[in-house]
Amino acid sequence: MHGISLPPGEFGGPWIDHLFCNTLDPAAHPAFSELEGLRVSSHLLIRRDGEVIQYVPLDCRAWHAGRSRFAGRDNCNDFSVGIELEGTDELPYATAQYQRLCATIKALRRGIPSLARAPVVGHCDIAPGRKTDPGPAFDWPRLERLLARRR
């Protein structure tokens, strides 16, 4: 789980799409200069209204985790599905995002055997000290309650 907004703290617009498609113009906004040359991708993005956008096929590697380690394994990009939520560490995520995230996780667990019992973790959990997202604004207990429901 990741959190992203481009420019930082702003929602909507084409900038996340441009970043994940490697077409972001660093001159389009002052905050983008630090992203020049960065090559990142994610499997999925869940926008504030719950819209899901897929950038990378689920059976292919996306470049979302960076230097990472989880459960004794390095390079989480090799064995994980990257889901970005449009948001920030500080602002609450939208109800539509939690609902769509829950449905997405359940579909992934049903459709991909290796994910059936896989934990859901934040970027902060696999790259502690380097990453903080999805941040303290993400309501992990809320997600757990939604995932525990039968439907």
Confidence of residue 151 (pLDDT cuts 50, 70, 90): low
The whole-angstrom separation of Cα 43 and Cα 131 is: 18
Domain boundaries, the chain: 2-148
Residue-wise pLDDT tens digits, 24-55: 999 999 999 999 999 999 999 999 999 999 99
Alpha-carbon span 59 to 34, nearest angstrom = 30
Domain at 2-148, CATH homologous superfamily: Peptidoglycan recognition protein-like (3.40.80.10)
133-138: average pLDDT: 97
- Residue-wise pLDDT for 54-89, tens only, equals 999 999 999 999 999 999 999 999 999 999 999 999
pTM (two decimals): 0.95
Positions marked active-site: 84
Q: How many C-beta atoms surround the C-beta of residue 2 within 10 A?
A: 22
pLDDT for the residue 16? 98
Work out the number of other CB atoms within 10 angstroms of the CB of residue 138.
23
Whole-number pLDDT of residue 150: 77
